[in-house]
Structures are given as C-alpha cells and as structure tokens.
Structure 1
Amino acid sequence: MMPATRADNSMRPLSGRHALVTGGARGIGASIARALLEQGASVSLLGRNRHALDEAVADMSAAGDVAGFAADVADPDSVAAAFAAAASRGTIDILVNNAGQAHSAPFLKTDARLWRDMLSVNLEGTFLCTQAALPGMLDKGWGRIVNIASTAGLTGYAYVSAYCAAKHGVIGLTRSLALELATKGITVNAVCPGYTDTDMVKDTVANIVQKTARSPEQARAELTAGNPQKRLVAPEEVANAVVWLCLPQSAAMNGQAIAVAGGEVM
C-alpha cells in the first residue's frame, strides 16, 4: 500500500492539527512523530541535538509537514524560545512530552546532582513544556497532552529511585491537570512503556554488562524477564497508544496512565 500523500491529508483524523513532540529526533519520540504525521498532523520536533533533529526532519519530510527546533526542556528560557518559534507554524494542538533521561545508582550513591538531573528533565521538563503549550489550547478549546512516563511511574524498581520518583511525579501531574482541564476540551494522559527497544535500553544493557560482567544477552534477558511476553516493547507500539489518545474520538480518555508493557503492570 502506498503511503498517504499531502493531497489526501484531509481524509485523516488529525488533519489541521499541529503536534509538538519533545525528544522527537530518535527512539520513541521519532516513532510518535511518524505516527502523528501518518494521521495528518503537522509535527514539530524538539531536541537538544541540532544534527539529530535535522536528520530526523529529512527522514520524515516525505510523510508530511515536519520541522525541528533545538531546545533543552529543563531550561525555561530555551523552552520559551523554542515554543515561540514552533508556534509560528500554528497553535500547538497536541503536546507529547517524551524527552527524558534514565540513570541508575543505588540510593546511597544517588547524589544531589543525579537526583536533580532526573527530576529536571523528566518532571520539570514536562511542567515547562505543558505551561508553554497550554494557553493556545485553552484559546482553541481543544487539546491533547500525552506524557510519556514509564512503568517506573506505576511501580518501583531497585537502583533507579530518582528516575522512579520523577516518573511518579509525571503521573501525578497528569492526573491533577486532567481534572483541572476536564471541562476545557483538553485531555491529559500518560503512556507508560516498559523496557523498549531504544538507544536508552541499549545504554542500560551496556551499563549492566560493565558493572556486573554479565553478557549482553544475559543483561537483555534480565530486562525482559519482568515482561510476561518476554520481549522488549517496540517503539511503534508506544506510538500507537499515543496516537489513539490524540484522536478526536478519544475525548473520554482523560487522566489515564496506560501501561504498554506486555502485561507487566496491571
């Protein structure tokens, strides 16, 4: 089947909507961006690496209207400048807060800098980007905010206390804001992937190998052991859940934290 072209964009459910995806140049974020383009949205990618953004835009441009903006989501001034630039392409109707970092350490070796890094990117970044996008959504009376949390926001994992705390915070923010905006035509939800086949998980595997002398195969098996399907989640599976939450027909989905993890969290 040939992919849809811009000429038949009006037949797709997100036609005319402008989506912004943070951390959109690679991994889960890039898969989400492609899926939103396929549904007719124009997409703005946010990321810290200008080269990676340019490569992603070039790769996705055949699928639709896409542009990239460099920003550090943990820096208020950087966020404000990037969102102002992105808004020149139209009001942001859909915000996907995907940018994040994960680092592991035993609790007593989790220093203040690691703690702040995990909260600033994963939680404060979500806060800053949501504040930047929300006024336009309120003016329109329509919006979709999807926060990419983690199963670490639904349960606990050893040796990632700072990351777990940040992702639990993201889910708390999601639920609170969903209630605050429930009558405004704006929904706020979280998608919580389990271990997903991305560069972040490859880095985790390498870290396990380095610290424990396990083989890469053993490290990977350790990560997939908690998934009843005994596999890593595909980025496209996460993107599918995100796009569903963004559709006009999903207006009753609000304040939810949906695990995409093969049944690991129920």
Structure 2
Amino acid sequence: MKRLLICDLDNTLYDWVGYFVEAFYAMADEVVRITGCDREELLDDFRDVHRQHHDAEHPFAVLETKTIKRLFPGKNSGEIAKIIDPAMHAFNSTRKRRLALYPTVRSTLDQLREHNIRLVAHTESKLYAVVDRLTRLDLTPYFSHIYCRERSASIHPDGTSSSEYLSQFPMRKVFELSHHQRKPNQDVLLEICEREGAHPHDAAYVGDSIVRDMMMAKRAEVTAIWAKYGTRHDRDAYDRLVRVSHWTPDDVARERLLSREAADVKPDFTLEHTFGEVLSVIAVKQVN
C-alpha cells in the first residue's frame, strides 16, 4: 500500500477547463455589453495581461487591459471595478454554477484518509486561485500540505490586502513554488517526497497530463497514475481557452519539445472513468 498520494488539482479533482472558460467568457461578454468595446480587442488585451503575469487566472486582469484603461482615463481601479461590477458578478455566478468535484472524488478522499494515506496537493495554479477553489469545494481539510505557484502581485481593487484575504486559510499548509519550479521537473517532486518523509517508491502521483504529471512522476520513480478522465475536454472550450491563454510562443515551443520527450512515457496505472479507481491502485479496500 502506498503511504503518500500526491494529487494534481485542476482537471484531476474537478473540471477546470469546463468551469473557467465559461466563467471567463461570461465576464468578458458582460464587459463588452457594459462598455460597448470591441470584443476581439478586449480578448487580445486579456491575453497580453495574462502573458505579462504568466497566468490565465491573474486576479482582476480586466482592470489592467488597455481597453479598460483607455475607456476610463483618470479613474482608479476601485472606481472602474464598481462600473464593471456586473461583469465580476457574471464570472462569480458562472463559477458557482459550474465548479464542482468530479463524481466519487469526495468519497474517495474520505476513504483514503480513513486508511491513513497521506494526501498532498500539487498544482501549477497560483496561490489565490488555489485558495479560492479549495475553499469553495471544501477540500482543504484533506491535504496535509499544498504546493502551488507563488501568489500574484495583486490586491483587490477595494484595497483589501493579501493578508486579509488569506487570514481565514490555514497558510501553515502552503508551500509556494517559484515560476521556475515547474512540471515536469522531477526535483520538485523529489523535494515534496523528502519534505513529507516518504521514499519515492512509497509515493504515488495522480494527474491528468502525460507530459507534465506522468513524465515528472516517472522521472522521480514515483508511481504514475494517469487521470485519463480529466483529459476529455470540449474542443470548443479548449480553443477558447487558448485564445486568451498566457502561453507565449516560447511556451508553445517548450510544450512541443516536452511532448516529444513524453512520447514514450507510459503511466503505471490509468484511471479511465473516475477518481475512485485510485483506491484499487494503492490497495485500499473499498467499503460498501
């Protein structure tokens, strides 16, 4: 039986693409309705802001777009935020409706915890987005530690500081990784195992990406469990994500190189349909 299970989050425990794309475009379309701006120019601006911050989820990115700055000269971010508040509401309401755990995730996490399997989260999403999703989905109690990318240099337009925003979250659990500590760098995974007091052979990693998650796990000699169910995205949704993504030409080139390197990578186990299949992989007997 494995003693440490390291879990990717986005598209492994919930459908990140499905929720985020719908919420983002609901917001963008509402901005267009409010301001009358050109939609394609606005989307170009979003892409530029996302690239600047290396993050498609940069907080309040709309306030940094050239379009919004041009339309509201002389107004500060708080004033602009009030004008386009319906757009923020559109994002939040869509997120509330669309963000949900995949089937069997919670019951599976419960069983893993009951069998004293140490659970750790590892994601390339940045801190604020991770805190938001883990809190909304009530996942924080399951993880002994959470490894994520370092927080964005951003504050709420009403002046709320990061310390206020994070005050209700158990930050003692969090380790923020730099932009350079990226998947599929096996050293990051080996450091996680060392910090958690587990030999790599006693650990397993579950994630949806062959290129990033499985190749990293195989290189670290950690059991590689592929969440294949998390790769089944609507093509239109994925194309809409790429339209505003933070991926630069260099990122695309890096991804192509990694894809070639991962061509022969084969996971140790594959979860075809649900996260619950991980129970048999790490030898946890299911309870009826």
Taking CA–CA contacts closer than 8 Å with sequence separation of 6 or more, which of the two structures ends up with the larger relative contact order?
2
TM range (shorter): 0.3 to 0.5
Q: Which of these two proteins has the greater Rg computed from alpha carbons?
A: 2
Query: Under a length normalisation based on structure 2, what TM-score does the superposition of the two structures give?
Result: 0.36
Query: Under a length normalisation based on structure 1, what TM-score does the superposition of the two structures give?
Result: 0.39
